[in-house]
Amino acid sequence: MRIKTSLLSAAFSLMFLSAFAQNEETVLGTRNLGFSGIWAGTKHQMTRFGNTNSYVYGWHFGLEFGKALTIGLGGYDLSDNILWDNQTSQPFDIRWRTVSLGYGFQKFRAVHPVINVDAGRGTVRFANEGEDRIFVIQPSAGVEINLLRWFHLVLEGGYRFVTDSNISLSDEQLSGAYGQATLRFGFSWGRYRKPVRD
């Protein structure tokens, strides 16, 4: 009798869990492995190097999975060579390429929160010290605005962490906060599957 009761309880538990599992949204789903969109565009970043406010131009390309997770590539370039602390003897330039990972919460909403992290290697030039290789990590958070189905605007802020600097500028001097506007062009297919609640 105990064995039958245990088996019935186990079967009921499995049925109960499978009913919820059918409504669960996963990144790697059963159809097309959750591949749900392609996005690309430009990034426009305002930051500071030394005493100079600077504009950094960027680009990105990513594949979307589960209508939430984006995995892609990107790059950033200082728009013009600047003078560190406005000293004519200290020209400065920096650029880096990244692998990016982003996540959007409730992307079916016209305005929704997003988090992103970019990480990759780059180069920096300063004064007459030549070129040096660096590593950059940029976490950020903000909001994405679905202006059109194929055009989204992302407004976010974050912090740039630079490591491996071997020039006279330290990692801390090359690191700093930034604000960024991202223009995203692309398409996301399929419907957002909201969990069905009993």
Residue of 108 and 175 predicted with greater confidence: 175
Residue 149: CB partners within 8 Å, gap ≥ 6? 187, 188
Helix (H, G, I), strand (E, B) or coil at 190: coil
**Count of all residues that appear for the chain in the document:** 198
Q: How many domains does the chain fold into?
A: 1
In a domain, 166, yes or no: yes
Residue 85 lies in a domain: yes
Confidence at 83, pLDDT banded by 50, 70, 90? confident
**Structural domain span for residue 99:** 27-188
Task: Give the tens place of pLDDT for each residue, 99-116.
Answer: 999 999 998 899 999 999
More confident call, 28 vs 45: 45
Cα–Cα distance for residue pair 58/178, rounded to 1 Å: 13
Q: What local confidence, expressed as pLDDT, does residue 192 receive? A: 61
7 part of a folded domain: no
CATH number for 170: 2.40.160.20
Is 9 part of a structural domain of the chain?
Answer: no
Instruction: Give the single-character DSSP code of 24.
Output: -
Rounded to an integer, the average pLDDT of 12-30 is 41
- Range name among 8-17, 33-42, 118-127 with the lowest pLDDT average: 8-17
The Cα 165–Cα 130 span in angstroms is 12
C-alpha span between 163 and 174 (Å, rounded):
9
C-beta of residue 58 within 8 angstroms of C-beta of residue 44: yes
- Assessment of whether the complete model's pTM goes beyond 0.75: yes
